[in-house]
Structure 1
Amino acid sequence: MKRNHVLGAKQFDREMLEGIFQTTREMERVVANGGSDRYSNKVMTTLFFEPSTRTRLSFESAMSRLGGKVIGTENAAQFSSTIKGETLEDTIRVVSGYSDVIVIRHTDIGAAERAAAVATVPILNAGDGAGEHPTQALLDLYTIEKEIGRIDGIHIAMIGDLANGRTVHSLSYLLTNYRNIHISFTAPENVQIPTYVKKYLDDHGISYEEEYDLTKVAEKADVLYQTRIQKERFMSLDEYEKASGKYIIDRELLTHMKQDSIILHPLPRAGEIAVEVDEDPRAAYFRQAQNGLYIRMALIEKCFEE
């Protein structure tokens, strides 16, 4: 972790994950006790070249609750020197001089790595196109452990837009650090899980299947990880409509789920989880979003470790 960057899920091993989760539990206590001023002399810059609500606000809240300051833009593509033709690398070189840590979300796969190559401060990848979203995957994994009590031995179903779902890619990579994992990939035909993700799972001995019947999967999975069909990632409306509305978690599906299973979603949702599901105790996605604050506080803490 050169300069304590967080760039992708593959950089973490199990020992590192356990350390991050321990720090995350400590951060839950920090928030419960009213926050901290330990980083009152630190500045975080948030550079979001792609829209975000939860990720950006949770990072900003995390820094604020640790006593730090936040500067940046939620629309860097339109309201920055980028529109004048400045390269990402030049932007990062300049902003590094203003900051102690930079959070970046970008439309291009690999943008975080490009930023880290020239940055003089830690870079935290808040999503790079259809590539990865490592901080989301970390909070997803933390939520699974917190809700179920374990990660080893779980059966997780990943549902929806698996081709463009960077959260699914990152979570799949993180799960290779655990034992006896089984993954069911349930997706429309035109947004199946990429071959390179399956190869990584094969290389690490992870059991998985591609199963089109969501009811069948729901009957045996410990975790249903639902994702949005991402309209903005499709080249045509026709391709989007082929995938949209195929897999929906509703009251009927709840009757097929195990009583001790949970439903996760990285949010925002767009109809793929019915509102009626929210009242079910297995619906953990809002608790999952709350955990994003604690995880990102922990990552900021790790950024400043010597």
Structure 2
Amino acid sequence: METPTDASLPTLTESVDSWKGSSLLSVTQITPAGLQLLFDVSQEMRQIVRTKGGDNRLQHRLLGTVFYEASTRTSCSFQAAVMRLGGKFIHVDGQGNSSANKKGESLEDTIRCLECYTDATVLRHPVHGSVGRVIQMATKPVLNAGDGVGEHPTQALLDVFTIRDELKITANNDKPKLTVVLLGDLKHGRTVHSLAKLLAQSKMTAQLTLQYCSPSGLEMPQAVQDFVAKYYNVTQQPVTNLAEAVATADVLYVTRIQRERFASGDAYEQVKGSYVVNNEIMSQAKSSMIVLHPLPRVDEIATEVDADPRAAYFRQMENGMFVRMALLALVLGVAQK
């Protein structure tokens, strides 16, 4: 079974009807107006949580969270999101005591069986293309929670929501010029693949500069750069000196070196610890710059940076729940009570 192409995926627009019943594989499905709708609903969700803890619009709805790779933030935030809206979840650990792991059941059969019980599925899988194949045969919405080294669209959505929130960018403001430094394992980092694409197509900036800072051999894939290059107002720059890049950055997006993606321990050891964001690095940054990280971190951000008000990564994690609440409300058709 072939993986669906961008053209075969539903386009998610400012119409709530375009979201209802739809699956999400890639950020490329979302129009700028659709992104604004999602963020408007996300703001509503934040207000609901902070004022009354949630509501019951997903009462009697059941979400399947299926993770064939380790996850803490993505699985927990989706689970928290559905529970905040009155629903429940069934969790399947594909690495543990599941039929797929113990009995050899196919991924497609696992999801089709779960769809007999659930209203939507959140799926993470280590093999790029697997989520797309499932979406092609699924009968209910499937949300991509990480597709090998491909994309992680919901992470990019919460990242852009956080950038807009922290830098006070709204649909009513003049569009700013923005410099975003993407730091780390850009080859394997599905979060930065999705983020670069979403920033380029979002139309929220007058001029966007993406600076790619990575150890040798872990550069941003050419396919991602080619996608971004289609947008006339985006400049892409490879950079090698972190301190120089940070000095002009509005956003520093840090990722870890992904040990689990390397063919050998020796290959990982050669690039381990290639960069560390610490107070010395932060002293060279703008007072308005923000630091983001999809987490978990290992040693690429020193814990001393946590006390810096520009460290936005834990606020970023909280925003993830609001954005995923909005996404569930939209795909399950309850965004407007």
Q: Shift of the alpha carbon at 1:230?
A: 0.5
1:181 to 208, 213, 230: 208
CA distance in 2, matches of 1:209, 1:238: 29
Q: Shift of the alpha carbon at 1:78?
A: 3.1
The aligned counterpart of 1:16 is 34
RMSD: 1.2
Say which SS state the counterpart of residue 92 (structure 1) adopts. Answer: helix
The aligned counterpart of 1:37 is 56
1:218 to 241, 246, 254: 246
Q: Is the 8 A contact 1:45 1:71 kept in 2?
A: yes
Q: Shift of the alpha carbon at 1:52?
A: 0.3
The count of residues paired between Structure 1 and Structure 2 equals 305
Say which SS state the counterpart of residue 77 (structure 1) adopts. Answer: coil
The aligned counterpart of 1:207 is 235
What letter is aligned with 1:23?
A: V
What letter is aligned with 1:196?
A: A
Q: Shift of the alpha carbon at 1:152?
A: 4.4
Q: Is the 8 A contact 1:106 1:128 kept in 2?
A: yes
The aligned counterpart of 2:159 is 140
Say which SS state the counterpart of residue 172 (structure 1) adopts. Answer: helix
CA distance in 1, matches of 2:261, 2:190: 11
The aligned counterpart of 1:265 is 293
1:120-159 aligned at under 5 Å gives the runs 120-150=139-169, 152-159=176-183
Q: Is the 8 A contact 1:218 1:224 kept in 2?
A: yes
Structure 2 residues not aligned, in runs of 5+: 1-9, 12-20, 170-174
What letter is aligned with 2:228?
A: L
The aligned counterpart of 1:277 is 305
The aligned counterpart of 1:165 is 189
What letter is aligned with 1:137?
A: A
Q: Shift of the alpha carbon at 1:38?
A: 1.1
**TM-score, L = length of structure 2:** 0.88
CA distance in 2, matches of 1:152, 1:89: 44
Q: Is the 8 A contact 1:190 1:242 kept in 2?
A: no
What letter is aligned with 1:288?
A: Q
Cα 1:159–1:135 shift into 2, 3 Å: same
The aligned counterpart of 2:3 is none
Percent identical = 43
Runs of 4+ aligned residues of structure 1 deviating over 6 Å after TM superposition are none
Q: Shift of the alpha carbon at 1:153?
A: 2.0
The aligned counterpart of 1:248 is 276
CA distance in 2, matches of 1:211, 1:238: 25
CA distance in 2, matches of 1:22, 1:220: 30
Say which SS state the counterpart of residue 177 (structure 2) adopts. Answer: coil
Which stretch has the larger CA shift, 239-248 or 224-233?
A: 239-248
